[in-house]
Each structure stands twice: as C-alpha cells, then as structure tokens.
Structure 1
C-alpha cells in the first residue's frame, strides 16, 4: 500500500471537533495520527456524510452523543467494523438512563474503555466486547519547583461533572494561606459556575481562575505546578490526569472509578468526591512535605505516578489501537 487511496478508510465520529478543545476531540485527533500509514482516517461529527461510501470501519466516541451515527452505520453495514468508545458520562450515566446509549453497546462489535476499572461498569451482557486502551501523551521533563510555596492547578471546563464547587470550597478553606496557590483553567460552560469562580477569587486571594487556555499552555501550567487537582464526579479516563503523570506532576484526585482506573487502587492521593475539607487537608500535607515535614506525601505521590507513567506511553496506545482497527477491518459482515 503506497498511498491513502490504497489504504482502507476509517471514520472516527466525534461529538466535538477542534473548536471544542475537549477530550473527545483530542482523542480523535491523536488516534488519527496513530493510524497514519495504517489506514486513511477522517474525523466527522455525524455519519453518514458525502464521503461515507468509502468507509470500511467506524470508531464512534460516546455511546449517547454519537448514537444516531452508530445506528446509521449498523443499518448500512450490519455486524461489520464498528467500535464504540465510552468516554465518560456515557459509561457512568447514560448507559443506565438512556435507551439509545444502551443500544449503541448492543450494535457495536467492540467497546473501548479508557481505564482499567471501566469494564466493570458495562452491562454484563456486553462486557466481553470490552477493550481497555489507555490514552497517551508525550512525556515532559519534570521541572524543579520552589519549596517556598505550593502551586496546584485544576484543569477542566466549568461544568457540574468536573465538580468545581469542591475546588471553590477548598480554596476558601485555605484563603488565609500565603504559601498555597491554586490556579483553575477552563471555560465557563455553566455560567453560574463562572460566577462562582469569580466570587471565589474575591474571597480567596490565593485562587486564580484563568478561563480557557490553549492546550500547549495548559500543559505548561501542569508541568510547572507541584500538583494537579482532579475533583470530578464522573470520568471515563481524563486526559489531564495522564498529562500530569507524564510531566512528573503528582495528582490529587476524587476517589471515583475513572480516576482509580488511571492511577491505581493503592494511590495515596485520593479524597472522597465532593469533600472539600479532605482536599484542603491533602494540600496542607503536600505543602508540609515540600519542606521535609510530615509524611513526605508529595514524594510518595510522585513515585507512584512515575510507576504508572508507562501505561500512558504513545507506543502502547498506538499498538493497542492498531490491533483494534485490524480486527474491525478483518471482521466479515454479519459477525458480532
């Protein structure tokens, strides 16, 4: 095969494209790069489109948001070449409450989940279809950081699933500290949460809401921080967690399956979801450990993240993805 025209054509359906700058788009674009030279990949928001007749396989991100495209593919190409990727809210909410999302699972020949706890959340009848593919990112050099203060960053658009209220409350609890700084990156998808972020800045001088940022700027913020905070209520497998791990930046995370499946069951940086006091206490322990006091928590977290980092290597994701696509392309119509 010498060119794109001689390669099989695969379509990735993503409910968000470049302008959204979110996890679904980043996954779609990265997978397109991983499959370069293996098949010709295009990314669309909905299928079919004008180029649909050439598609040999489909990867659809999000069981509910891509449900119409998934159903259209299954009707046009029954039993052939369809993988559905469960990216977060569809896995932990929609497959329970939404009939279209559940039907997406039944129609697919393969289900892709993004962390090791996720298969247990699937209905038992479709669990055998599950493939765990950890997402990947490029490694960055861990930077030396000041011991004079602790800087934490939380990354995620302001919406209910990301639980920014937990961060707001923790920042207020630490408002009198002049040695703990919290940066918060994300667009105000919920205007009320944007208003709450501004109110938190007024009440807690050590908290800064920076709004949305380009991806490269986000990675630099993570790289420079002592800690990433990830307070989400539900996640399929967050990009920012792996980006922190690959940058040598430890994570403080809510104890939910989406985070445990990324960081491991024995990780020492969890707090109960929604518990601002527990998050504030972890931040204080990490601040103490920077100057050699307390239980050296931040060094322990850094070592645990270093041990998990190989899971998020690009070559691992690339190999797993190519195996999946090879199976989709070789599967004859009418099989399941």
Structure 2
C-alpha cells in the first residue's frame, strides 16, 4: 500500500514523534509498503492515512476524511492527547478519534484513560528499540541517567532535586541528556548544575552518546508527569538498565502494575528513597534489572512491526464495513 503518515515534527527533529514516524516507515517498508512522511497534508490520495497526534493533526484528519471518505484512517494517541488535549480541547481531539477507523495507543493502559466509546477501536503498539551495546559500568561511582527533553511534561529535574536529599556518603550523580525546550528550562538546568554537585546536564546529544550514557549508568530515572509510552523505557529494557519511574499510567502501562521501581510522581523524597535503596541494596537493583530484562522481548522491532500490521488490518476491516 501507499501510506501517508503525518507528524508535526519536521525532518531532522529529535522529537520522539519524529523518531516514531521514521521507525514506522522503516518497519512498514520492510513489510512491503511504501510510506511518505509529511508535516502538512495537501490532499493527496493514498491507500492508508496515519496521523500522529489526535489534536495536533486534527485539521489534517478532518480534511482527509472529507476528501477520501472510503480510505482507512489510523490516529495515534500521544501522551499529550490522552492526558492533556482531550481535556483542554475535547471537541477537536475526540473528533479525530471519532473519524479514525483504528486508534493506536502506545502502552497497555490507554483503554483506561480514554472514553469507553473509543476502546473498541484501540490497538496497542509498543515502541521498540534496537539492542544497544553491552554495559560498561565503572566500578567507582553510581551514575543515574535521565534521558529526555527539558519540558514541563517530563519533570526533568526531579532526580537532581531528589539527589540533594541523599546522605553525604552517597556516590550518586544524576546525568541528564536532553534539549531545553525553552530558555527558561535552559536557565533552570544551568542553575541547577552550578548549585548541585550531584547533577550534570549534557544538553542534546546524538543516539550514540545516549547509548554510551546508558551503558555507563547504574539506573535510569523517568520522572514524567505524563507519557503516552516513552521510547526511552523500551531502550532501557532492551539494555537491561534498571528503571526508576514515576507512577503514572504511561509508565505503568509499559512496566506493569507490580513493577517494584515506582515513586510517587513529583515527590522528591520518595524518589530519593528509591535512589538510595538502589545504591545500597544489590538485591533491589538486581530485582529491577531482572524485571526490565524480562520485559525486553515486548520491545523488539519484530514485535512492534507485528502490532503495527495488526492495527492496519483493523483499520482496513473497519473502513470496509462502512464503505458502500
């Protein structure tokens, strides 16, 4: 099929949605399809339309459905769609969901977080990650990585703030890799780095540097206040890197209800408790490592490709039933 995939993230962007679009193009082309990624929809026909973002792609979704009423349409629900836009902009967000033949969620709890009338359209596609190089963790020190752009949704300095509560004897250092989305966030990170000896901000780095950071870290913190299914969780699981995560739906939907490494979202003290436990208890750190290793097979490219093709089949079947 000729597939058009629209994303608001432009070529060259390191935004997560651009990475998803590029990865899906590769997976779908390996399956025999042809995929064009666009940031603006010009009305061109295709055999299938995939829209990343229900709200941000709303105009394109409406235009596509008007101009191509018999062509299957998939809408991918991002974290901001589910946990922000459907409440702030319900009419547009829910209209995109209504017009879709299939909705894709990126973690296993999306069905609990959207209106029940849409769950019959929902398919889960867990984002994959390539198998990274093996760990190179130094004997000395205890580095904790935080990987993600500096913006409100990520709560990116939470681990740095928690590290201030650790005892003086702690070897923990928090290293953050991610681009500041605003001058205010850049200033916050620079100020924190200057005043907090346990914190280092690398800024935006390339994929090889991310892999190196993960390989040298003892654990990763994902402290987001909202997530649609963070790809960095997939990467850490594939790397066997222990994860300490905020107890939000988007993290629980990837790691499972009974994962032992959750802290209360936005709670420095609770996060500091888990950081200290990870440093001081080899058994606890080993338990986290074992759990993410068990989950790794869920995040292979083959698993993601299979789920994506199943979602396409659902969209095709749904549009066929509605067509005259």
**TM interval, short-chain normalised:** over 0.9
Q: Provide the residue aligned with 2:195 in structure 1.
A: 203
Q: How many residues align?
A: 321
Q: 2:223 aligns with which of 228, 231, 235?
A: 231
Distance (Å, rounded) in 2 between the aligned partners of 1:79 and 1:11:
15
Tell me if structure 2 keeps the 8 A contact 1:174–1:204: no
Q: Provide the residue aligned with 2:40 in structure 1.
A: 46
Deviation at 1:141, TM superposition (A): 4.5
Q: Deviations over 1:187-232 (max 9, x none)?
A: 1113222211111111211210000111232122122211111000
Tell whether 2:69 aligns with 1:69. Answer: no
Q: 1:306 aligns with which of 293, 297, 318?
A: 293
Distance (Å, rounded) in 2 between the aligned partners of 1:251 and 1:159:
20
Q: Provide the residue aligned with 1:108 in structure 2.
A: 100
SS of residue paired to 1:19: coil
Q: Deviations over 1:255-314 (max 9, x none)?
A: 000000011111111000000111111111111124xxxxx2100000111111111011
Tell whether 2:124 aligns with 1:136. Answer: no
Distance (Å, rounded) in 2 between the aligned partners of 1:225 and 1:142:
12
Distance (Å, rounded) in 1 between the aligned partners of 2:321 and 2:119:
21
Q: Provide the residue aligned with 1:184 in structure 2.
A: 176
Deviation at 1:32, TM superposition (A): 0.3
SS of residue paired to 2:69: coil
TM-score by length of 1: 0.91
TM-score by length of 2: 0.94
Distance (Å, rounded) in 2 between the aligned partners of 1:267 and 1:188:
30
Tell me if structure 2 keeps the 8 A contact 1:116–1:262: yes
Q: Deviations over 1:78-136 (max 9, x none)?
A: 25310000121111111122121111000100000011011111111111100011111
Q: How does 1:1-336 map to 2 (within 5 A)?
A: 8-36=1-29, 37-48=31-42, 52-53=44-45, 55-98=46-89, 99-174=91-166, 176-177=168-169, 179-290=171-282, 296-329=283-316, 331-332=319-320, 334-335=322-323
Name the Cα RMSD after superposition: 1.8
Bigger shift: residues 324-333 or 150-159? 324-333
Tell me if structure 2 keeps the 8 A contact 1:174–1:280: yes
Deviation at 1:144, TM superposition (A): 4.9
Tell me if structure 2 keeps the 8 A contact 1:145–1:224: yes
* 1:94/1:332 CA distance change after superposition, 3 Å: same
Distance (Å, rounded) in 1 between the aligned partners of 2:170 and 2:297:
36
SS of residue paired to 1:18: coil
Bigger shift: residues 140-149 or 203-212? 140-149
- Structure 2 gap segments, 5+ residues each: none
Tell me if structure 2 keeps the 8 A contact 1:9–1:39: yes
Tell me if structure 2 keeps the 8 A contact 1:82–1:328: yes
SS of residue paired to 1:187: coil
SS of residue paired to 1:287: helix
